[in-house]
Structure 1
């Protein structure tokens, strides 16, 4: 939510400022406009460290960003700009450190993402990794835009695209976590350890309904009993069971239980 608020504030200030008809001075408007971009960019490492669970970004999120992004903003775009009123000179010198740091941080973030998905990568994990790369790249472009003074349309489209990718990744991870929590709850009720089953059900690409049926199947319920619990027909249960057999390449209840739960 904080990231979306910062994005909204960034887009509003970028669209409204500078405006000579406002009561705010042009210099204050420019400080706010550039500040919104700096603070939104500064939040990205913390967001990826906390939400995307990239522990290698901790130092950058808490120390690197304040030193190499926030501090240069206050020095050049607040203090120096208030003294000389020359935004072109401040852009020329004030963006050097943030730009170089953005390149370094982009490399660190890519390495962190790579390390996170390197072990046990499957097709789904690889696609998520690529999506995270696409989400990170526009963030680093913010400092580049400040150096080359790109058009506002290009800048907004690029940064907003990054937010879209981040939102998609966040939703996908939330759904996966909710699925794991649901599985753990079922495991608690049925007294089995969900770790291997969660891994195996993902490996064999079982659907949510097939997972429910497999768990009830393990408990020893008949097709009719499963159908009654899930409010579906016995024939539908049979079709799901056959699909599970086909995916796991087994042909009996015991073989299925050993393959999924052991």
Structure 2
């Protein structure tokens, strides 16, 4: 196994463990589930591509080649499905569900499994087995780029424009996979193309996850504000022995007013707001606004 492939595999194994832990915490996160499948396929692809074929391994060479090429075809086949599901690229539905099985997986089954297992000529399998996938990869590349363009046509801004560019960069390396297989450009070239594209996908996934998490937090904050009972907060402030001024500030803190807004509303300085806030947190026994709201907004 080439050292570059080995390093990428280690990094992806570590990433898989982290993402799996996060998924177990929130098993309803289907985007993370799709991402875990992609990482798992890439890890298996790197391992089999890095180790096979090897005469020292007690597996027939033609079986090793079938496994190695099979993981590559399977990973490439999952790629359009991943983009279709995670980024909601509706124009990819046909390719993700029907085109890939017909024009990628079926040629692999015919030429690399059935035919190659019979004649044992790898070059013959590569020569004819990647013809249809090569031309289809061009069609698929165009379809993915078009789907990305259509999806980002509306509501364009700088952030979404950068995300669109990243998606183009993520797609581009995979379009060359059939050429790499046909010309046998070596493990290093193959590892760089596939894994660098995956790193871009990872950046996209993290960016999308952060955006979704922030949106969920905003929804949660709005829900808390809708269910907020000021009278309950005041009663709990009295129970916690807060002064009248501290009670006023505690209520405004729970309503998520900023430091400057509280100071302007109560005609006091920002430093005074900070001092009262520290006293409130100490008396109530909390360390953040979220904890303060949770404790003061709960009926006794």
Shorter-normalised TM-score: what interval?
0.7 to 0.9
Q: After superposition, where does 1:10-159 map in structure 2 within 5 Å?
A: 10-159=45-194
CA distance in structure 2 between the partners assigned to 1:36 and 1:129 by the alignment: 28
SS in 2 for 1:138: helix
2:262 aligned residue: 222
Does the aligned pair in 2 maintain the 1:224–1:234 contact within 8 Å? no
Query: In 2 relative to 1, CA 233–51 (structure 1 residues): closer, same or farther, beyond 3 Å?
Result: farther
Residues 24-52 of structure 1 deviation map (CA, whole Å, 9 limit, x = unaligned): 00000000000010000001011101112
Does the aligned pair in 2 maintain the 1:142–1:155 contact within 8 Å? yes
Counterpart check, 1:176 vs 2:211: yes
Query: In 2 relative to 1, CA 187–94 (structure 1 residues): closer, same or farther, beyond 3 Å?
Result: same
CA distance in structure 1 between the partners assigned to 2:116 and 2:168 by the alignment: 34
CA distance in structure 2 between the partners assigned to 1:225 and 1:37 by the alignment: 63
Q: CA deviation at 1:89?
A: 1.2
Query: In 2 relative to 1, CA 24–190 (structure 1 residues): closer, same or farther, beyond 3 Å?
Result: same
- Give the structure-1-normalised TM-score: 0.74
CA distance in structure 1 between the partners assigned to 2:106 and 2:272 by the alignment: 65
Does the aligned pair in 1 maintain the 2:262–2:273 contact within 8 Å? no
CA distance in structure 2 between the partners assigned to 1:131 and 1:170 by the alignment: 11
- Give the structure-2-normalised TM-score: 0.65
Q: CA RMSD in A?
A: 2.4
Count of matched residue positions in the alignment of Structure 1 and Structure 2: 208
**Which of 23, 32, 37 is matched with 1:2 structurally?**
37
